[in-house]
A and B are shown apart, each in its own frame.
Chain A
Amino acid sequence: MDGLFYGSILYLVASGLTLIFGVANILNLAHGAFYMLGAYVAAILIKLMIGTPYTVIAFPLAAVIVGLTGIAIERGFIKWIYEKDYTYQLLLTFGLSLVLSDAVRITFGTEPMYVTKLYAHAGAIDVLGNPYPVYNLIVIGLAFLIGCLLWLMMSKTRVGKVIRACALDREMSEGIGINTSRVFALAFFIGTALAGISGALVVPQSAAMLGIDADALIQSFIVIVIGGVGSMKGALIGSLIIGLIRAFGIALFPEIELAIAYLVMAIVLLVRPQGLFGREYRAA
């Protein structure tokens, strides 16, 4: 069950990363920083609103704030390097991640922020005879819901079609009158908002602290490498695998829990270099 919880959070982070990569062809190294930003913003908001019925709003609000930051950064910096060599995007997003995470440190301080009250408030229920925190269940359900919404949006709506068209062929989409620049900004908004909300959802369960950015980034890298870069379905399966590995790993062999995740990644890479669902790569 814990595995499902980790997996849900990971899925949200990784799908944002993979969406941006699939659409804009940018591997956003600052993704972890957005996740951390989401966690801190949510912690602040929840602290402000705790006790009132509006506390729930803190989560979508954090996501929107992070998403807007994402757009601002895309418009300000990343926009200029779409046409350039891939080294530039890695360098740029790496630089941006350093700036963002240090800015978070300057703004919110180095102390971890806890809002565990909310977590305790949600209580626990019996699942197959074991008490299980309700909050985790809510998060799992929410991740499922967001996943479904994303899938619906991408496959059924006009916006989704436009986004997929851009992902497949930017020039062609421009040719048939799509404002690709705006689509990229949208992809960045959705992607970073996903990072933001997952950061926010983690806060009540653990804390908003420094260093979670690198963790989130690496974990979601592993997820999308396993699942196949750019594939949404891959992100789902990959995060479930990693989530479960993590839960069982901590229970069975705590010493090498992390090593197993890497081992799985290495095996997948050797056996199926494009990832489990690599075929659909770029189809978003």
Chain B
Amino acid sequence: MKAKIGWTTNRLHSFAGITISLVALFCIPLLGSSYYDFLFSLALIYSMWALGYNFLLGYTGLLSFGHGAFFGLGAYTVAILVTKFSFKPFLPVIGIAVLATAFLGAVIGYLCVRYTEVYFALLTLAFSMFFYALVFKLYYWTGGSDGIGIRPPDLFGLRFSAIEYPAHYYYITLAFFLISVYIGWRIVNSPFGKALQAIRDNPLKAEAIGIPVRRYKWYAFIISTAYSGLAGALYAPLFGHVVPDLFHFLFAGEVLFATLLGGYTIFLGPIVGGIVFTVAKRYITAVTIYWPLVLGALLVAVTLFFPQGIVGTTYSLLRRKIGIKGGE
């Protein structure tokens, strides 16, 4: 064992990596293209969404098809608050959206975490479709299939709009993104996070050593829905329009794929996956209208051939080439 004084190469590598990506993220608005501001705001939102999703998929071993609904709940909460109640202060609006989503997540999660594996997956799917149907029916509140068009909320009395000042909105998203990543990192490396991983690896053993399995799964579910709610809440003002499709399980498939694409075994995976997915989706949908086909085919390919995702595969390549350590 080497004494742990100063910086190991490994830490140096991570530090350099983090600094470079931070600088890159800060510099995006300097490109001066409002399109890129928009695209990368969206990418960061997807990253947050996938990061939260991975608490369930990667760390607890639960696959959910319902996180589109929680994303949608966050988005609709913001939309309804702003348009129906004219309640516009930005931070409280986002806060309420996250709390509302987490609350519903707690109710639904309470039912779902009693089940494991496929049963869990199909329950979350059914519940998300329930909300989907509900959003169509509750026309007065949700605008039915038209959705709701929203004006942007205020921030500190300052009017800003994702359409007029995309760069401002990008920095706000970035701030939320960095906070979420930090909190996520702390959760994953807390005793609670380790307990979740124990549950994933062997629920029976986890139970035997005194981890309250079902309760911890429930907590993980609530946390991940709160993340989905935050992502949705930030999405609504960015797009300026929310539609029921957000609740559909196909939309939840996108976060599933983003997570998988990045690599769900690694903390960084979903973050990278969210960004790559968003950018790729933009360019693929620009070329072809057969987006579900491409998405499905890619999903099959990734599942069969690259189950570790981009980050995982890169790590194992690097490990083989230059003996870098990492991956967790």
- Given contacts A90-B63, A255-B137, A269-B114, whether A95 and B296 have CB atoms under 8 Å apart is yes
Are A90 and B111 interface neighbours, CB within 8 A? Answer: no
Cβ-defined contact, A91 with B114, below 8 A:
no
Name the one of A96, A103, A106, A255 contacting B300, with C-beta atoms under 8 angstroms: A96
* Contact yes or no, B57 A77, CB < 8 A: no
Residue count of chain A within 8 Å CB distance of chain B: 39
Set B57, B118, B293: member contacting A98, Cβ < 8 A: B293
Interface contact B296-A97, CB-CB below 8 Å: yes
Smallest distance from the beta carbon of B255 to chain A beta carbons, Å?
12
Q: How would you classify the secondary structure of chain B's contact residues: helix, strand, loop or mixed?
A: helix
B296 CB contacts on chain A under 8 angstroms: 94-100, 102
CB B266 to nearest CB in A, in angstroms, measures 15
- B127/A262 in contact, CB under 8 A: yes
What is the bound-complex CA distance between A240 and B244, given in angstroms? 30
A106 touches B295 (CB 8 A): no
Q: Is the CB of A98 within 8 A of B295?
A: yes
Contact B290 A102 (CB under 8 A): yes
Is A218 close to B, CB under 8 A?
yes
Residue B165 lies at the interface, judged by CB distance under 8 Å to chain A: no
Distance A95 CA – B292 CA, assembled complex (angstroms): 9
Give the residue name and chain of the A residue nearest to B291 (CB). A102
Contact between chains at B304 and A98 (CB < 8 Å)? no
How many cross-chain pairs have Cβ atoms below 8 Å apart between A and B?
A: 101
Interchain nearest-CB distance for B307 vs A (Å): 7
Query: Does A180 count as interface, using CB distance less than 8 angstroms?
Result: no
Given contacts A88-B303, A92-B304, A214-B129, contact A98 B292 (CB under 8 A): yes
Complex Cα–Cα for A222 and B304 (A):
29
Known: A258-B133, A259-B130. A214 touches B63 (CB 8 A): no
Q: Given A99, A103, A221, which contacts B125 in the complex, CB threshold below 8 Å?
A: A221
Query: Which B residues from 100 to 128 make CB contacts under 8 A with A?
Result: 111, 114-115, 117-119, 121-123, 125-127
> Cβ of A101 < 8 Å from any Cβ of B?
yes
Contact yes or no, B114 A273, CB < 8 A: yes
Tell me if A270 and B129 are in contact (CB < 8 A). Answer: no
- B260 contacts A by Cβ under 8 Å: yes
Q: Are A270 and B304 also in contact (CB < 8 A) when A97-B296, A98-B292, A102-B290 are?
A: no
Establish whether residues B133 and A259, one from each chain, have CB atoms under 8 Å apart when the complex forms: yes
Inter-chain CA distance A237–B269, complex, in Å, is 44
A43 lies within 8 A of chain B by Cβ: no
Chain B residues near A214 (CB-CB < 8 A): 129, 248-250
A54 at the interface (CB under 8 A from B): no
- Note all chain A residues with C-beta closer than 8 A to B133: 258-259
Query: Is there a chain B Cβ closer than 8 Å to A167's Cβ?
Result: no
Among residues of B, the one whose C-beta sits closest to the C-beta of A85 is B61
Identity of the chain A residue whose Cβ is nearest the Cβ of B118 in the assembled complex:
A27
Are A90 and B118 touching (Cβ within 8 A)? yes
Task: Report the separation of the CA atoms of residues A103 and B296 in the bound assembly, to the nearest whole angstrom.
Answer: 11
B304/A94 in contact, CB under 8 A: no
What is the CB-to-nearest-CB distance from A158 to chain B, in angstroms, rounded to a whole number?
30
**CB < 8 Å neighbour of A101 from B121, B126, B260, B292:** B292
Answer whether residue B50 sits at the interface, using C-beta atoms and an 8 A cutoff. no
Distance between Cα atoms of A21 and B114 in the complex (Å): 20
Residue of B126, B248, B290, B299 touching A221 (CB-CB under 8 A): B126
Known interface pairs A88-B307, A97-B296, A99-B293. Does A273 touch B115 (Cβ–Cβ under 8 Å)? yes
The answer to whether B126 and A27 touch across the interface, beta carbons within 8 angstroms, is: no
Contact partners of B137 in chain A: CB under 8 A:
255-256
- Residue A82 CB within 8 A of the other chain: no
B129 touches A218 (CB 8 A): yes
Shortest Cβ distance from A106 into B: residue? B290
A95 to chain B, nearest CB (A): 3
Measured CA separation A83–B215 after assembly (Å) = 29
Interface CB pairs A-B, < 8 A, 20: A27-B118, A81-B304, A86-B63, A87-B63, A89-B118, A90-B63, A94-B299, A95-B296, A98-B293, A99-B296, A99-B297, A101-B292, A214-B129, A214-B250, A218-B126, A218-B129, A225-B123, A225-B126, A259-B134, A269-B123
Other contacts beyond A90-B118, A225-B122: 19, CB < 8 A: A88-B307, A89-B118, A91-B260, A94-B296, A95-B296, A98-B253, A99-B293, A99-B296, A99-B300, A102-B293, A214-B250, A218-B125, A218-B129, A221-B125, A221-B126, A229-B119, A259-B130, A269-B111, A270-B111
Binding site for B on A (CB under 8 A): 21, 27, 77, 80-81, 86-92, 94-103, 106, 214, 218, 221-222, 225, 229, 255-256, 258-259, 262, 265-266, 269-270, 273
Q: Closest 3 interchain pairs by CB?
A: A98-B296, A95-B299, A99-B296
